[in-house]
Amino acid sequence: MKSSLFIKILREKKLLLPPLSGYTDYPFRVILADFKPPFIITEMANARAIVQRNRRTMQILKIAEGKQYNGVQLVGSIPEYMSRAAKIVEDLGFDYIDINMGCTARKVACRGEGISLMKHEVRACEIVAAVTDAVDVPVTCKLRLGPSKQSMNVVALSEKLVDSGAVALTIHGRSGEKKFGLPVDLRIMHEAATVLTIPIIANGGIYTGSDAQQMIQATGAAAVMPGRGLIGNPWIIPEILSTISKTSFTPPTLQKKKEICRKHLDLLVDFYGERKAVLKMRSILPQYFSSCFFLKDLKLDVQQASNVSDIPMLLERLDDTKGYTIYDKNKK
């Protein structure tokens, strides 16, 4: 995929899906592909582990069938490993590569990866330059506003990353110390979109099509990236695309949500086996039905699930005959 085509589609569709560690695995990417997004990306994959052909890491790199362009997010701190991993994933058929400069997980940051790269701008630029030299596909980066509220360096660093070869940047509207749920800083994202010549993708606080539209209007970003709003809600893809294109969007029925949730379970079982599939559904299933009444009961009951057969039983307890979705824990 040429950079010019990547940018053209990004500006037209205005949507880039997120890399969500633990969620955008292969089974969920198969689900997402059915909703026809322009781009799908893996959860983050460790560059050194790719070079070493680590079995679990190579599992991350399975591409879901579909007409979308497929990206992979690399995490690492050593330019040589990043460039070698980039070449490997390019050869596997990925269409673009994203470099993680925003993950705040302690085990990532303490290795000089993720958000730590925003503290070490020279190393960050060396990595981008090494990756772009190694591959022919577009290279992007995902950043935060800065490593801390005392060091909001995203605009200055972004200019250097562009000079190093990045063709687009995703900016999460919080600093490295801010937690999810806190307001995003639209002002700094707007500054970046104004100063930089490449497309900026705005990320943070996007849960609806309206959120996406308002984010674009407020920041001047070329596109948006929903984050946790995608978990259990692949319908946010057509919702955002419809809102931006000013076409109609029909929310899913409860039965449709159940159908997709069952398909998700089947894909998890096929990919991971029954035990791990059930463990993953403990966090995924409540996200599909996050607006139901008595959600707390659903969350408690799904934590007790130990067999694959327990999941369909929980789904049968969800009902919308009264005009709203309710979870009845006493329903057999």
Range 254-327 classified under CATH 1.10.1200:
yes
The model's pTM is 0.94
Determine the residue type at 82: M
Residue matched to tokens 């900016």: 171
CA distances (Å), 125 to each of 23, 130, 163, 195, 243, in order?
A: 29, 8, 8, 18, 36
> Which one of 103, 125, 141, 261 is the catalytic residue?
103
Binning the chain into helix, strand and coil, the percentages to the nearest 5 are 50, 15, 35
Give the β-pairing of 326-327 and 318-319.
antiparallel
> In a structure prediction context, what are the per-residue pLDDT tens digits for the chain, which is 332 residues long?
899 999 999 999 999 999 999 999 999 999 999 999 999 999 999 999 999 999 999 999 999 999 999 999 999 999 999 999 999 999 999 999 999 999 999 999 999 999 999 999 999 999 999 999 999 999 999 999 999 888 899 999 999 999 999 999 999 999 987 666 678 999 999 999 999 999 999 999 999 999 999 999 999 999 999 999 999 999 999 999 999 999 999 999 999 999 999 999 999 999 999 999 999 999 999 999 999 999 999 999 999 999 999 999 999 999 999 899 999 998 87
103 as an active site residue: the answer is yes
**Pick from 176, 195, 172, 193: which is nearest to 184 by CA?**
172
Name residues whose C-beta falls within 8 Å of residue 258's C-beta, 6 or more positions apart in sequence: 315, 318
CA 78 to chain centre: 23
- Residues paired with 225 in a beta bridge: 203
Q: Is residue 163 classed exposed, middle or buried when 0-12, 13-18 and 19+ CB atoms within 10 A define those classes?
A: exposed
**CATH architecture under which domain 3-245 falls:** Alpha-Beta Barrel (3.20)
- Write down the domain spans for the chain: 3-245, 254-327
Residue matched to tokens 């009444």: 293
Each residue of 253-264: b (16+ CB within 10 Å) or e? ebeebbebbeeb
